[in-house]
Structure 1
């Protein structure tokens, strides 16, 4: 079956110039907001990012990049996108000349992130990129270098780091209200539903360890406030006929400074959504820890952590927009995404060799 990369490269339709004005389009909002162009109109853009952009205060949806011409009139009618702000994968470099677009958001399969984030950076627009950042740490570094060269900001879409209860856990790693941390359990996975075909392809950055595993890895890092020293891992599948190239389930143990141990797990075949921290003087958890809404938790002394109550993606994009407007550091820079991908590669190596791998 033709993969997404092949489809993108073969889809040579020159879409933008051929479109007629769409009747009844809604007008653009305040010019004080940053204009965002979404690259890739799959589920995450369609069902989550585009609706969330309607709830932001500092940015708005103004452009799209797609290889599916049948989607264009639907998006134009729903969001009032001008013909001049519609692009395909062959002409997206022309966004460089579009003053209405300030940010290009890469929402493609992981295996395409590096290629298109670099193209986005070369337009001189700021770059937001969905997680996982890329397939390899080398690709991540290339993305970082391209954004630095073009003097644009790069932010990775780790929505959890913008969520209030997660931020409390991150702060507790520094303040240690329950004493030094001893152990952490970090698990993220889902069971049921349709798995996007590209997530079963190694070349495209598929597999549970990339898709859901970065939640577990990132949570292990932000809940301890440290970087791991070594890892062991094993990978398995209950559906070998489906998972011929990538992992269905990965279990791993991470060793952190001070003897802290993290039991991590990720899966396409098990429902997992849990972050537990055990410390000298108590414990606390987030359960669920990475859902699109309803992230909540509790502590050993009875403190309840209620859900944030705001759209996570909207908060994420507003935070990133403010970093651009105020020229401050983004909350989740490319270096943060690259650290997780480096660990993903070490976990895969540990699983393939059945050895303890130093990080």
Structure 2
């Protein structure tokens, strides 16, 4: 496999903390308004005002046609007030986690985007749905399948959409992966490999708290590798996995979660994928090839917010980078307005958590093959 230029820490953090300067306008298919949606803007409230909501999601709203910021939900009153002033929100549009249920009385809020640690997702998603709001839940969907089931059930009972924050579903390089995987003249892909990781600093960030995060790099960044492999396999999920947690080089930091983990996924039809994720080293790539290796695809950088590059056995990918968050948000708004199901719904998020649970079970059992349960 070709070696990609490694990310420096500055480059990695830059890509993950501010909207990429290379991000361009939305694809034409997402910009073209329909008669059913033209002129309508839905109000969205962010639950959780951390770096991702502040630096990626909120600025992306300005690049959408059918969304506006209508409220915030936060555990820090001063932060809520800063957002209220910055986005000229009306009085009464700032909620705490304790008062989240009162969004039911605010007709200006149509959607709640939950951008808090995964261990809090179930409670906030269920309450937002019961308040009569559509919900977007940031990935990973939850820390366990049982919580995913409760979230899906709550939104279904409320008659509201539940979307998961899979921004790469809308990214052009990954969409080309979908197309080539389905092209009988190029695919199908039979061997895949990918990795995503970075060096986690010390201290006690929530990502090192198992109760809040559900695990370490696997659910945080490894989930992108799982998603890419699933797409390379033609949109199906793996039927079985084997996995290994690697020895910790900084055990004083990783007291609750893994530092590095590798896994193999088996897909229907015989395709396999090798995955890697780590909080101790940098990697950011994906490769897929057909049975004889003559047709192949590489993306690297593969998972960050911008600056993605791709090439295939036919040549460079002739696609551009976009604002991934804007594309994701705009499509969810259109799904609500057009009454069509989001393509990145709760069932997709649930299946990924089922894969992650199986990977952890295999690693805990010394690499034993573990079948992935279906829906």
TM-score by length of 2: 0.85
How far the C-alpha of 1:172 sits from its partner, in A, is 2.1
Residue 79 of structure 2: aligned partner: 71
Q: Specify which of 288, 308, 315 is matched with residue 295 of structure 1.
A: 308
Report the 3-state secondary structure (helix = DSSP H, G, I; strand = E; otherwise coil) of the residue aligned with 1:51: helix
- Alignment partner for residue 232 of structure 2, among 223, 245, 250? 223
Q: Which structure 2 residues correspond to residues 44-193 of structure 1 after superposition, within 5 A?
A: 44-191=52-199
Deviations 1:70-92 (CA, angstroms, capped at 9, x unpaired): 21232122111222111001111
2:220: which partner in 1? 211
Q: Which residue of the partner structure matches residue 3 of structure 1?
A: none
Matching residue of 1:275: 286
> Deviation of residue 175 (structure 1)?
2.2
| Stretches of 4+ aligned residues off by more than 4 angstroms | 192-196
Q: How far apart are 1:179 and its partner, in Å?
A: 3.1
Any conservation in 2 of the 1:295–1:306 contact (CA below 8 Å)? no
Corresponding residue pairs, total: 329
Change (3 A) 1:270 1:331: same
Instruction: Specify which of 255, 261, 264 is matched with residue 275 of structure 2.
Output: 264
Of 305, 316, 321 in structure 1, the residue corresponding to residue 333 of structure 2 is 321
Matched, 1:356 2:369: yes
**Bigger mean CA deviation after superposition, 287-296 or 150-159:** 287-296
Deviates further, 193-202 or 120-129: 193-202
Tell me if structure 2 keeps the 8 A contact 1:296–1:305: no
Alignment RMSD? 1.6
Instruction: Name 1:347's counterpart in structure 2.
Output: 359
Find the residue that maps to 2:46 and give its secondary structure.
Answer: strand
Q: Does the CA contact (< 8 Å) of 1:294 and 1:307 recur in 2?
A: no
Structure 2 unaligned spans of 5+: 1-37
Structure 1: runs of 5 or more not aligned? 1-29
Q: Report the secondary structure of 1:258's partner residue.
A: coil
Normalising by structure 1, report the TM-score. Answer: 0.88
Structure 1 residues 48 and 331: CA distance shift in structure 2, 3 A: same
Conservation of the 8 A alpha-carbon contact between 2:141 and 2:148? yes
Deviation at 1:352, TM superposition (A): 0.6
